[in-house]
Amino acid sequence: QKEVEQNSGPLSVPEGAIASLNCTYSDRGSQSFFWYRQYSGKSPELIMSIYSNGDKEDGRFTAQLNKASQYVSLLIRDSQPSDSATYLCASMNRDDKIIFGKGTRLHILP
């Protein structure tokens, strides 16, 4: 069964520090990867997508992909209390279906 695995957390990070979120995926055929942020009681919001090996930066967010290790990560620089949320990692398989991880809860300590 194709899966996306994440540590459920909570991950506690001091305000202003770098938060590092990780996930692994099992389907070697996956080509597209996504990070969503979900606040409690709200729907997921797409914050990053990455398709090729290496780093992709967007503001305070950097997504990293290593297809050989089947590993995706999200770095959040200068963490703010508003970054406290659950972060969902997802990959798209060859059937155009997105597989979601269960999410990592991130808590930014003021």
Partner 1 sequence: DGGITQSPKYLFRKEGQNVTLSCEQNLNHDAMYWYRQDPGQGLRLIYYSQIVNDFQKGDIAEGYSVSREKKESFPLTVTSAQKNPTAFYLCASMGTGTGYEQYFGPGTRLTVT
Please give the residue ranges that form the binding site for partner 1 (CB under 8 A).
8, 32, 34, 36, 42-46, 49, 51, 88, 92, 96-98, 100-103
Q: Which is nearer to partner 1, 77 or 94 (CB)?
A: 94
Q: Supply the minimum distance, in Å, between the C-beta of residue 110 and partner 1.
A: 25
Q: Supply the minimum distance, in Å, between the C-beta of residue 11 and partner 1.
A: 16
Q: What is the CB neighbour count within 10 angstroms for residue 60? A: 14
Q: Supply the minimum distance, in Å, between the C-beta of residue 92 and partner 1.
A: 5
Q: Which is nearer to partner 1, 42 or 77 (CB)?
A: 42
Q: Which is nearer to partner 1, 74 or 88 (CB)?
A: 88
φ/ψ (deg, to 5) at 42: -115, 170
φ/ψ (deg, to 5) at 81: -55, -30
